[in-house]
Structure 1
Amino acid sequence: DEMEAAIERALRSAASAGIGGKALTPYLLARVGEFTAGRSLTVNIALLEQNARIAARIAVALSEGE
């Protein structure tokens, strides 16, 4: 899978560069984006939108006392 390979490659790159802590997430996102020619951003946006839809449904259910 392209994403899995890109993530593994980014993790190896971060380890080789000694990147960790708070700097790790932005580094990984940038590298995965680079390795997938930006396709990972499209996937992440779709996941964010889906999570927002689910959160909205949960909020409505909670406000209705379900």
Structure 2
Amino acid sequence: PRSRIQPVIETALDEAEARGIAAKAVTPFLLQRIFELTDGRSLVANTALVLNNARLAAQIAAELV
């Protein structure tokens, strides 16, 4: 739920800013830090998102053919 992940994201963003992490280094830092702060639970959610995006992309591609 948003109420659970939002504080984690804000913490990770604050840490990135405090450490001077910028540009292309931000996303990998955030993903790793959120993974750490959620004891790995964010990986399950991110994996599900990737799989759903791939499934949707395949459906769209099939419709275009």
Partner in structure 2 of residue 58 of structure 1: 60
Partner in structure 1 of residue 24 of structure 2: 22
RMSD between superposed Cα atoms in Å: 0.7
Please tell me whether the aligned partners of residues 2 and 36 of structure 1 are also in contact (alpha carbons under 8 angstroms).
no
- Out of 36, 56, 63, the residue aligned to residue 34 of structure 1 is 36
Which structure has more relative contact order (CA 8 Å, sep 6+)? It is 1
Q: Matched residues in 1 for 2:50 and 2:25: separation?
A: 21
TM-score by length of 1: 0.91
- Once the two structures are TM-superposed, the CA of residue 3 in structure 1 deviates from its matched residue by 1.4
**Aligned pair count?**
63
Q: Which runs of 4+ in 1 moved over 4 A?
A: none
Identity over aligned pairs, percent: 49
Unaligned runs of 5+ in 2: none
The residue identity in structure 2 corresponding to 1:60 is A
Tell which structure's C-alpha radius of gyration is larger.
1
Unaligned runs of 5+ in 1: none
Aligned residue for 2:10, secondary structure, equals helix
